[in-house]
A and B are shown apart, each in its own frame.
Chain A
Amino acid sequence: MSADVKLEDVWIRFGSFVAARDVNIHIQEGEFFSFLGPSGCGKTTLLRAVSGFLTPSEGKVLIGAKDMAGIGPNKRPTALIFQNLALFPLMKVWENIAFALEVKGVGKAERRKRADELLELIALPDQGDKMVNELSGGQKQRVAIARALAAEPDVLLLDEPLSALDLKLRQHMRTELRAIQERVGITFIYITHDQGEALTMSDHVAVMSQGVIEQVSDGTTIYDSPETAFVASFVGENNHFSGKVTAIDQDFVIVDTPSGQLRGRNVKRAGVQQLSVGDEAMIFIRPESLRFIDGGSADNRLKATVERQEFEGNFWQVFLRVDGSPRIVSLSMVNDGHSVGHDVGTEVEIGCSAKLAVALPAGAMAAE
């Protein structure tokens, strides 16, 4: 069984602090949905409202079209995986997994059988009689997933469960989580501040900042067509140039910046404030969209001086001082076996096509 989750006009306040501001989200049944945002943006608070540990100050939480008001966390069709996993250290691995069944009054033999099946699912067969502390970090992670799945929830909630793992394991667990989700077919709601996790695993991502949902979309749209300055600056690396809109040319916006005139795509979407002539705007250009022009042509051109180069293995990161811009601009080049070709200190011209630049109303940026 799987269920959709709806948040309708949800406000969550702690005293005068607003942790969630008028949140409206519809999470489809059976999808992998992520809340992405910096720590303190209110994403964990929303998750707690879905799991029932917290009651919204206003608005409704619906799971499978059923209003969850007044229903406690032990009665909701959700299971939560905690950031620190919260496995029971005094129980054996199989007892941990079978806890939800024990609660339902399932007999011991049946519980053991079901726990063994789940251990099979998470690729940890024959580990049932170990104590939790005898397992490695990744194994504990999987036991926590099995324990939650044993409750046969319609919706699985995951609160940054991978954050304690090292990089390699984290990347491996991403694939694993996605595979498990596809196998069991229930709705996964995933909380993370790691955009890599959100973009790789999710069907849809909601980017959050200071209690507000900034944008809900699939990963590529979030990355390629951010709707607010916050999303553009928080998801991935981005260079930005501030200025005033001087003209609007169909799907493009022309912005006058201290570094020169720049053209960017006009992101048109419902609910997004549209730019008009005279508005304060920002042009966002991703490092991988920038290139050295070397005498060729480009819609957007910037004069710059090479400041520093960093070799990252699969690509080069070049940092440049752009005329008129107070910030260092970064440009990345795929490592094709050649060097960057422009030494530190040389004056160059960089640029990109207008299609790869995004024009957005000026707004709050993500903290560096």
Chain B
Amino acid sequence: MKQYWKEFFTRNGMSLGLFMLLAVVVWMLVMIILPQLYMMDFSFRANVPPPQWGSETHVYTLEHYRYLIYGNVNATDAFNYIDLGVFGRTILASVFVTLIDVALCYPVAYYLAHVAKGGWGRLMVISLIVPFWVNELLRAFAFKVMFGASGVINSILLALGIIDQPYDFIRENFALYSGLSYAYILLMIFPIYNAVESLDKNQIEAARDLGSPWWRIHWRVVIPHAKPGITSGCTMVFMLTAGALAAPQILGGPSSLWFTQLVYKWFNNSANWARGSAYALVLLISCIIFVLIVMRLFKVRLGEIAR
């Protein structure tokens, strides 16, 4: 360990070494660890107005976690079915969105990595990236307009005579899933692209030469090779989708609340930061556990994802 530090400072010099060390520590501490610890602390405390924070009324309690599970103390239901239902639906819907993204992005990534050549490939990458310069809210509202009762899609379907009444894409969450799937698509494409691109083309040709049809080449050669990339993309898309707020807020149907909307409600409308923190923390930890379980199931180690 001592040897390591000595080497670190001889390699980088004293001043640069110190700067890098400081930067990393500040980054970790101020940007990541402290805020989360703060939230965690909050979630275990009674909800009191800010002036009383730190006073003796700001006591530790499990009330907020209890509320998520059992609901109001006076509630007649055994469990807080509404909030737990929203939680479950959020996780399931996020899994669904993640699967849609894999199905959409794997072919695109493969095409970019092994089929598209030179300028055409670059043009494709640019046309994937540029739309994301448009901010998230604008994109969400654009989807809302597009899927609306008098939006482009309904107009076309009506004009073609496929439907005779405007279809309510918003109520059926069609707009929501489209918006969410599109929102994090780059985070799926690029990890898969990186993984697929590192595959030796000869392996694809070898499989083909041995008589393999295209689907088996993907199933036995390309996908196993790209597994870490696919997993990496899935974890990011899943986490971000489960934690998305703008898209569900704008595109969600009247009956479909996203769990983050509950968190937002506690923080903002109800001014109950403590309960908001507890809800947010539950979401975070459950997502991490869920991802780790899935990784275990697919036999992918955390280290592989980082490649």
Interface residues of A (CB under 8 A from B): 51-53, 72-75, 78-80, 82-84, 86-88, 90-91, 99-100, 102-104, 147-148, 150-151
Contact pick for A73, options B203, B208, B220, B221, CB 8 Å = B208
Question: What's the least CB distance linking A85 to chain B, in Å?
Answer: 8
Cα distance, A91 to B220, chains bound together (Å): 9
* Cα distance A100–B211 in the bound complex, in angstroms: 6
Contact of B210 among A83, A90, A147 (CB under 8 A): A147
Q: Are A80 and B225 in contact (CB under 8 A)?
A: no
User: B212 is contacted by which of A53, A80, A83, A103 (Cβ under 8 Å)?
Assistant: A103
Contact at B212–A99, with CB atoms within 8 Å?
yes
Contacts of A82 in B (CB 8 A): 202, 205-206
In the assembly, what is the distance between CA of A100 and CA of B210, in Å? 5
Residues of B within 8 A of A103 (CB): 210-213, 216
B184-218 interface code vs A (CB 8 A; 1 in, 0 out): 00000000000000001011011111111100100
From B203, B209, B213, B224, contact of A79 by CB (8 A): B209
How distant is the Cα of A74 from the Cα of B212 in the complex, in angstroms? 6
Known: A80-B209, A87-B206. 20 other contacts (CB 8 A): A52-B209, A72-B208, A74-B208, A79-B210, A80-B206, A82-B202, A82-B205, A82-B206, A84-B202, A86-B205, A88-B207, A88-B221, A90-B224, A99-B220, A100-B211, A103-B210, A103-B212, A147-B210, A148-B210, A150-B210
Contact (Cβ within 8 A) A74 B220: no
Expressed in whole angstroms, the Cα–Cα distance for A91 and B216 within the complex equals: 14
- Measured CB to CB, the closest approach of chain A to B93, in angstroms, equals 32
Cβ B206 vs Cβ A86 within 8 A: yes
List B contacts of A91 (CB < 8 A): 220
Task: State the CA gap A73–B208 with chains docked (Å).
Answer: 6
A255 to chain B, nearest CB (A): 48
Considering the complex, give the chain B residue whose CB is closest to the CB of A157: B209
Considering the complex, give the chain B residue whose CB is closest to the CB of A91: B220
CB distance from B177 to the nearest CB of A (A): 33
Which of A73, A75, A99 contacts B205 (CB under 8 A)?
A73
**A-B Cβ contacts below 8 A, count:** 60
The closest CB in chain A to the CB of B221 belongs to A88
Given contacts A84-B200, A86-B200, A90-B225, contact A74 B213 (CB under 8 A): yes
| 7 pairs of A and B residues whose beta carbons are closest in the complex | A86-B202, A86-B206, A100-B210, A103-B211, A90-B224, A82-B202, A80-B209
Separation of A147 and B210 alpha carbons in the complex (Å): 8
Would you call A78 and B209 a contact (CB within 8 A)?
yes
Tell me, in angstroms, the Cα distance from A306 to B86 when the chains sit together. 95
Residues of B at under 8 Å CB distance from A? 200, 202-203, 205-213, 216, 220-221, 224-225
Q: How far is the CA of A99 from the CA of B203 in the complex (A)?
A: 12
Question: Once the chains are docked, how many angstroms separate the CA of A150 from the CA of B210?
Answer: 9
Which A residues are CB-close (under 8 A) to B221? Answer: 88
Q: List 18 A-B contacts (CB under 8 A).
A: A53-B209, A73-B208, A73-B209, A74-B212, A78-B209, A79-B209, A82-B202, A82-B205, A82-B206, A83-B202, A84-B202, A86-B200, A86-B206, A87-B206, A88-B203, A91-B220, A102-B216, A103-B210
Cα of A83 to Cα of B201 in the assembled complex, Å: 12
A145 CB to nearest B CB, Å? 13
Scoring B208, B209, B221, B225 by chain A CB atoms within 10 A of each residue's CB, the highest score goes to B209
C-alpha gap A72/B210 in the complex (Å): 11
Q: Which residues of B contact A151 (CB under 8 A)?
A: 210-211
Report which residue of B202, B203, B206 has the largest number of chain A beta carbons within 10 angstroms of its beta carbon.
Answer: B206
How long is the Cα–Cα vector from A100 to B213 in the complex, in angstroms? 11
In the bound assembly, the distance between CA atoms of A73 and B207 in angstroms comes to 10
Give B68 Cβ to nearest chain A Cβ, in Å.
43
Give A91 to B221 CA distance when docked, in angstroms: 9
Assembled-state Cα–Cα distance A79/B206 (Å)? 9
**Contact A99 B224, beta carbon cutoff 8 Å:** no
Q: In whole angstroms, how far apart are the Cα atoms of A148 and B209 in the complex?
A: 9
CB-defined contacts of A84 to chain B, threshold 8 Å: 200, 202
User: Which residues of A lie under 8 Å from residue B211 when comparing CB positions?
Assistant: 74-75, 100, 103-104, 151
| CA–CA, A104 and B213, complex, Å | 10
With contact pairs A84-B200, A84-B202, A86-B200 given, residues A51 and B209 touching in the complex (Cβ less than 8 Å):
yes
Closest to B200 in A: A86
Q: How far is the CA of A46 from the CA of B125 in the complex (A)?
A: 34
- How far, in whole Å, are A90 and B203 apart by their CA atoms in the complex? 11
**Complex contacts, B210 vs chain A, CB 8 Å:** 74, 79, 99-100, 103, 147-148, 150-151
Residue in A73, A75, A79, A150 with the greatest tally of chain B CB atoms within 10 Å: A73
Q: Which residues of A contact B206 (CB under 8 A)?
A: 80, 82, 86-88
Contact of A53 among B205, B207, B213 (CB under 8 A): B205
Which residues does chain A contribute within 8 Å of B225, judged by CB atoms?
Answer: 90
The closest CB in chain B to the CB of A151 belongs to B210
What's the Cα separation between A88 and B202 when bound, in Å? 10
Contacts of B208 in A (CB 8 A): 72-74
Select B203's contact among A51, A72, A86, A102, beta carbons within 8 Å: A86
> Do residues A74 and B203 form an inter-chain contact, with CB atoms below 8 A?
no
Please report the C-alpha to C-alpha distance between residue A151 and residue B205 in the assembled complex, in whole angstroms. Answer: 14
The chain A residue with its CB closest to the CB of B217 is: A74
Residues of B within 8 A of A88 (CB): 203, 206-207, 220-221
- Whole-angstrom distance between the Cβ of A91 and the nearest chain B Cβ: 8
Q: Which B residues are in CB contact (< 8 Å) with A74? A: 208-213
Q: How far is the CA of A80 from the CA of B210 in the complex (A)?
A: 8
Nearest opposing residue in chain A for B206, CB measure:
A86
Whole-angstrom distance between the alpha carbons of A83 and B213 in the complex?
23
Give the distance in Å from the alpha carbon of A52 to the alpha carbon of B210 in the complex. 12
Measured CB to CB, the nearest residue on chain A to B225 is A90
**Chain B residues positioned under 8 Å from A104 (CB to CB):** 211
